Amino acid sequence: MANVYNWQIERQMEYPYEGARPKRQFAAVFDLNKCIGCQTCTMACKTTWTVGKGQEYMQWNNVETKPYGGYPMGWDVRILEKLGPQPWEGKKYVGKTIFEAAPRGEKVLGYLKEELDWTHSNAGEDEAAGTLDKGAYFTMPTHDMWFFYLPRICMHCTYPACLASCPRQAIYKREEDGIVLVDQTRCRGYRECVQACPYGKVLFNPVLRISQKCIGCYPAVEQGMQPRCVTTCIGKIRLMGFLSKPDEVKPHAPMDFLVYVKKVALPLYPQVGLEGNIYYIPPVNVPREFLRQMFGTGVDQAVETYLKGKDDPELLGLLHLFGDTKEIVETFTVFPEAREAAGFDKKGREIVRVPFTEPDYLRPFYDDARKVYRHNIS
């Protein structure tokens, strides 16, 4: 066991391999306040990557409704239950990670998902905690009845449990972008990774008898494009980019700004210890205790920052760049006076610019050149 530093839990932790951060790290931010549970991302992924035999049930990208949804069923409840109480001291997680809590002879604390766990992938959809009786009036700061959508892909972790668990070392992290892959030619289908991934994001193909997972749409990313689940996200909740190492923060890189500078985007179940690289802006209407269990101690600050977003042009500007371009936005600039935000590619070329407020137009009543009146009621 090596000792590695996991910034999300602010401490060193045990991991089977020496730490080695990639040159660039694939990352994404999902704004849960905007997710509409439409499953467009799921279908974008499904139609592209999992149309083959043995993949019928597979959703590398899925969207589940919290608290009752889970694909595989109860994945988070079950790993939290196995892990037991999860204590934090300030921002430091002082409980055990799934590497540290691994049973003797195992590298990772996990469990083998059963076939039926993958069946009803959208069970729990729109189901709230709490039950209505008759009428009701829910107000902020948090609703007495609540649910939210949690869209999920592979976290392309800094310390992947799948990679740690693979007895054949057939799972690896790409040096150039940190995308985690299962080598489809070397995998023998032992399903150690399926058991180990606390997020349930490695899936077994019973026809090919190998494990498969989200590939971060690397064929697109290699061409400077964001993944399918991001470019099709009509809720405009997603932005993919590269996250710098924690000690090399670039404030004008979108991921760095949201994760390190504003701390408005948080890791999912950081206590499991994988330093996952999909970050979530927590839903503001949900009871904080539930959110802290899910996103760690940064929740209160993140919610507060988000709610004050209207007075923070830089944050507001960047949030308006979500879903405006297929290309990867390497850096961004906000023009507070003009109330505009622009995104730039690797070479510094402006790829997109949008206003904070969609422009409104008034056309002349009569267009003499074209001999026509313009009405709103025609």
Partner 1 sequence: MGQLSRRDFLKFITVGATTASLYDVEEAFGQFLEPVKVDNPLAHYPSRDWELVYRDIWRHDSKFVFLCAPNDTHNCLLEAYVRNGVIVRIEPTYGYGKATDLYGNKATHRWEPRCCQKGLTMMRRFYGDRRVKAPMVRRGFLKWVEQGFPRDADGRPPAEFFQRGTDEWVKVSWDRALEVAAKGLVNIATTYSGEAGQALLTGQGYDPAMVEATQGAGTQTVKVRGGMPLLGATRIYGHYRFGNALALLDSHIRKAGPDKALGARGWDNYSWHTDLPPGHPMVTGQQTVDFDLSAAEHAGLIIVWGMNWIATKMPDSHWLTEARLKGTKVVVVSVEYSATAPKADEVIIIRPGTDPAFALGLAQVLIAEKRYDEAFVKRFTDLPLLVRLDTLKLLRAGEVIPGYQPADLTNFTTVLKAGQAPPPFALQEKQLIPEGLRKEWGDLVVWDRKSGGAKPLSRDQVGEHFDRAGLDPALEGEFTVKTTDGKEVKVAPLFTLMRRYLDENFTPDQVSEMTWSPKAAIVSLAREIAKHKARTLIPVGMGPNQFFNADLKDRAIFLVAALTANIGQKGGNVGSYAGNYRAALFNGLPQYIGENPFDIELDLTKPARPRLYWKGESVHYYNAGDRPLRVGTKLFTGKTHIPTPTKAVFVTNSNSILGNAKGAYDVIANTLPKIELWATSEWWWTMTCEYSDIVFPVDAWNEFKFPDMTASVTNPFLTVYPRTPHPRLFDTRSDVEVPAGISAVLAKMTGDKRFLDYWRFVHEGRVEVYLNRILSGSNATRGYRFEELETRARDGIPTLMMTRTTPRQTGWEQTNESKPWYTKTGRLEFYREEDEFITLGENLLVYKEPVEATFYQPSVIVAKPHPAVRPIPPDQFGISPQDFAKSDVRQVLTLVMPWEVLKKHPSPLVKAGYPFIFHTPKYRHGAHTTGTDTDFLAMVFGPFSDVYRRDKRMPFLAEGYADINPADAKALGIEDGDYIWVDGWAEDRPYRGWKPGDAMYKVSRMMCRARYYPGTPRGVVRMWFNMYGASHGSVRGHESRPDGLAKNPATNYQALFRYGSHQSVTRAWLRPTLSTDSLVRKEVFGQLIGKGFLADVHTVIGAPRESMAKIQKAEEGGIGGKGLWHPAAHGFRPTYENKAVKRYLKGAFFIRRG
Interaction residues for partner 1, span 19-58 (CB under 8 A) = 19-20, 33-34, 36-40, 42-44, 46-49, 51-54, 56-57
- Residue of 11, 95, 261, 345 that binds partner 1 (CB under 8 A): 95
> What is the spatial distance between Cα 17 and Cα 24, in angstroms, rounded to a whole number?
19
Which residue's CB is nearer to partner 1, number 169 or number 251?
169
Name residue 14's beta-bridge partners: 3
Residue 24: closest CA among 253, 305, 274, 365:
253
Which residue's CB is nearer to partner 1, number 183 or number 248?
183
**3-state SS assignment for residue 258:** helix
Contact yes or no for 153/276 (Cβ under 8 A): no
Interaction residues for partner 1, span 286-305 (CB under 8 A) = 286-294, 297
> What is the spatial distance between Cα 356 and Cα 8, in angstroms, rounded to a whole number?
32
Contact yes or no for 223/346 (Cβ under 8 A): no
> What is the spatial distance between Cα 70 and Cα 97, in angstroms, rounded to a whole number?
21
- Residue of 86, 165, 244, 277 that binds partner 1 (CB under 8 A): 86
Interaction residues for partner 1, span 120-149 (CB under 8 A) = 120-140, 143, 145-148
Shortest distance in whole angstroms from residue 328 CB to partner 1: 14
Residue 62: closest CA among 137, 120, 139, 128:
120
Which residue's CB is nearer to partner 1, number 104 or number 126?
126
Q: Is 215 in the site for partner 1 (CB under 8 A)?
A: yes
Interaction residues for partner 1, span 222-251 (CB under 8 A) = 222, 228, 231-236
Shortest distance in whole angstroms from residue 180 CB to partner 1: 9
Shortest distance in whole angstroms from residue 313 CB to partner 1: 11
DSSP 109-131: ---PPPGGGGT-TTTTTTPPBS-
Which residue's CB is nearer to partner 1, number 104 or number 375?
375
User: Could you give the string, one character per residue 329-348, with x where binding to partner 1 holds by CB under 8 A and - elsewhere?
Assistant: --------------------
Structure tokens at 26: 């694939």
